[in-house]
Amino acid sequence: MGLPEINGKTKVCGLFGWPVEHSFSPAMHNAAYAGLGLNWVYVPYSVPPNCLRQAVEGMRALGLAGANVTVPHKQSIIPLLDKVDTAARIMGAVNTVRLEQGKLVGYNTDGPGFIQFLAAEANFSPQGKRVLLVGAGGAARAVAVALAGAGAAAIYITNRTPEKAEQLARDVAQAGQLTTRVLPWGRQLPGTVVAEVDLVIQTTPLGMGARSDQVPEFPFTALQPGQLVCDLIYNPNRTLFLQMAAARGATVFNGLGMLLYQGVLAFELWTGLPAPVAIMREALLKQVS
């Protein structure tokens, strides 16, 4: 891909994180712009926490069309914005900002990205379904709120620290009409629940990168053939959790789809155009491999 021809009409989207060196988003978005011949460019900005306020004001001053927000700013950016979408507020995290008539509006495309991935790649709709979440951190929260909004009938949460699962269960109940239940962690997790859910989602960092030999304690033997099991981790391609689930006959997916579709939704929010999903996927795969 050649450099875009930057001129007075070029629209700029940014990524605010700290650090941003290893992000895949610039490659994914710039490939999308190039693929559609758009005069847009996506630039990563390394913003230290004590400069976030100035960076957000800078967005307005410089007229950036939008920005993604990543670690460690997803929560702390909320009070700096003019408006925050309801689901993002319940998630307590913003990953996408759009400048709308001079106002900075915050959204979260992580959770909705997961829902879109389920539809596009796993042929799964959460409507009326029962879901088991392993973990109750920021990623679990985004996914749980989106699942509730998409009509899930029940969300069960198991977490090492039960208080965090309880808090998440209370917050999720605001996002939809559903049953929430906190289940014991590890060995005590009832196999009967594991066997009856429609979807299991592993959201902890256990099994990621250098910790690829780690796996949360889980009653894998209770899984049923064909049951859907997702891990939000995409590196390695198949975590130990997914390997053990696949060995029980489960249908497994890693976190690459969520990463792709959060980008797809951000692209569509900023440009108003349907995203070139295949191009974005190809750009992402090149980064991962």
Residues contributing to the site for ligand ATR (CB under 6 A): 135-140, 159-161, 164, 203-206, 216
Does residue 68 have a known ligand-binding role? no
C-beta of 11 vs 160, nearer to ligand ATR = 160
Instruction: Provide CB contacts within 8 A for 79, sequence distance 6+.
Output: none
The single residue of 9, 11, 74, 83 carrying the catalytic annotation is: 74
Does residue 136 have a known ligand-binding role? yes
Does residue 92 have a known ligand-binding role? no
State yes or no: is 83 an active-site residue: no
The number of helix segments (H) and strand segments (E) in the chain equals 10, 12
d(CA 196, CA 126): 15
Instruction: Provide CB contacts within 8 A for 123, sequence distance 6+.
Output: none
Min. distance of Cβ 211 from ligand ATR in angstroms? 9
> In sequence order, what DSSP letters do the residues of 191-216 get, joined into one string?
HHHHHH-SEEEE-SSTTSGGGTT---
d(CA 211, CA 207): 5
Does residue 247 have a known ligand-binding role? no
C-beta of 137 vs 190, nearer to ligand ATR = 137
Beta sheet of 66-69, edge-to-edge order: 40-46, 11-17, 66-69, 96-100, 103-107, 83-84
d(CA 11, CA 29): 13
Return the bridge partners of 154, or none: 130, 179
C-beta of 159 vs 271, nearer to ligand ATR = 159
C-beta of 41 vs 175, nearer to ligand ATR = 175
Min. distance of Cβ 25 from ligand ATR in angstroms? 16
Min. distance of Cβ 135 from ligand ATR in angstroms? 4
Token pair for 18: 């700290």
Min. distance of Cβ 221 from ligand ATR in angstroms? 20
Which residues are annotated binding-site positions? 23-25, 70, 95, 110, 135-139, 159-164, 232, 234, 255, 262
Residue list, annotated binding site for shikimate:
23-25, 70, 95, 110, 234, 262
What are the catalytic residues? 74
Binding residues for NADP(+): 135-139, 159-164, 232, 255
